[in-house]
Each structure stands twice: as C-alpha cells, then as structure tokens.
Chains A and B, each alone.
Chain A
Amino acid sequence: NAGVMQNPRHLVRRRGQEARLRCSPMKGHSHVYWYRQLPEEGLKFMVYLQKENIIDESGMPKERFSAEFPKEGPSILRIQQVVRGDSAAYFCASSPGGAASPYEQYFGPGTRLTVT
C-alpha cells in the first residue's frame, strides 16, 4: 500500500491561473480531508469528502475554491484565479470509514503551491 499520494508535489502558478491539486487516498479508504498550511501556522481544515459527497466544507473559502471526490479517480482541490495569498502547503488525508475513522487519518506528503 503506497499510502496517500498527492500530486504534484510542487506547483507554481501565476496570479489569475487555476491550480488543481490531486489526492489519491490509501487503498480501501473512502474518506478524504484537505488541509492548508500557511507559513508559520498549523494545518487548517478545509473540507471533508466521501465518495461523491461533500460532508463538511466549513473551512473552505467561499469563493474560488472547490473540491470533489468522484466515484472513480482522485480527489481534486481546485483553486480558480489564484492570488499570492493562496501560496501554501496543501495536505490531503484519508481514512477508511467506520466508527473509529476520523481518528485514523493518514496524511499525504503535501503539495506546495507557489503563486507568482
């Protein structure tokens, strides 16, 4: 089991472009979480998804950000019209589901987004 995969590991975008970050959960995991880490800060929860459903997006900015976790394929975090303030490390975590699931989050290596 390769663990949670994220790609790309590094992404550079100019202001106004779109950024697409991908997360492939661990095999057998159906729950995905996205976090953002700004410099000198902790990880901030953005969104929690199950297959084809957004369960909690209370940490997601209302504009320009969206997330999906389709039936097939990776989870995608999409940032439209990026601005410099979007520069951060974005981490994805997955969990298997079930009663103990939220406490078994396995993290990916992160994608570092730089907006120039």
Chain B
Amino acid sequence: AQRVTQPEKLLSVFKGAPVELKCNYSYSGSPELFWYVQYSRQRLQLLLRHISRESIKGFTADLNKGETSFHLKKPFAQEEDSAMYYCALSLAGGFKTIFGAGTRLFVKA
C-alpha cells in the first residue's frame, strides 16, 4: 500500500542550526514527491518537488530510492521557517496525492 511517513510530529531547533525533516514513503511505482508548507494562518502551499531539484527558501530535498526517503533539509534555520511541513507522494498519473501526517517545525530565537 502507498504510504508517507513523517516520524516527527514536532521538531524544535535554534535559529542558525541545521534542520532536517524526515520523510519516508512506500510505493512500488515511480514516485513523484513533494514538500508542502503551511505557515500560521495561511494556506497549504507547495514548497518544492523532487523532479525540479530546486532549492526554495534555502530548503532542498533529495530523493533516495534505496532508502525510500525524501528528507527536507536546510543548513541554517530561520525563525520564519516555523510552520507545518507535509511530505506528499503523487501516484502514477499524478492525480492522487498521499500526504504524511506533517511535522511542525519550531525555530527558536
């Protein structure tokens, strides 16, 4: 069965510290993976997608098919990064997206 697992419900780091939000997936097909972010009182929005291999707001994520992981990383966390982060997997065809339960990132001053 397809599944996305985010093992940490809450991650708290100090400003300037590196941050890594973990995501593991289970899918027998070719995965399309994404990270979505929801800032306080804002809507859910796409942060980045693995096929783009881009860095958004200093965040990067590498798809590791061997470990079935798509961890989100940033070398130096900022207070404005505090938000809810969701890892998501789109199945073949892209129309059905499976979300993880989310990790709340809290960056302390």
Q: Could you list which residues of chain A lie within 8 angstroms of chain B, going by C-beta atoms?
A: 3-4, 33, 35, 40-45, 48, 55-56, 58-59, 91, 101-110
Contacts and interface: CB of A to CB of B under 8 A. Distances in A.
A80 B41 CA distance: 29
Interface in B17-61: 32, 34, 43-46, 49, 51
Contacts of A59: 96
A42 to B, nearest CB: 4
A41 B101 contact: yes
A102 B46 CA distance: 12
B106 interface: no
Nearest to A100: B94
A32 to B, nearest CB: 11
B94 to A, nearest CB: 3
Contact of A105 (B86, B93, B97): B97
B93 A102 contact: yes
A102 B90 contact: yes
Given A4-B43, A42-B6, A91-B44, 14 more contacts: A40-B101, A41-B101, A42-B100, A43-B44, A45-B97, A48-B96, A55-B95, A101-B94, A103-B32, A103-B46, A103-B49, A103-B51, A108-B43, A110-B43
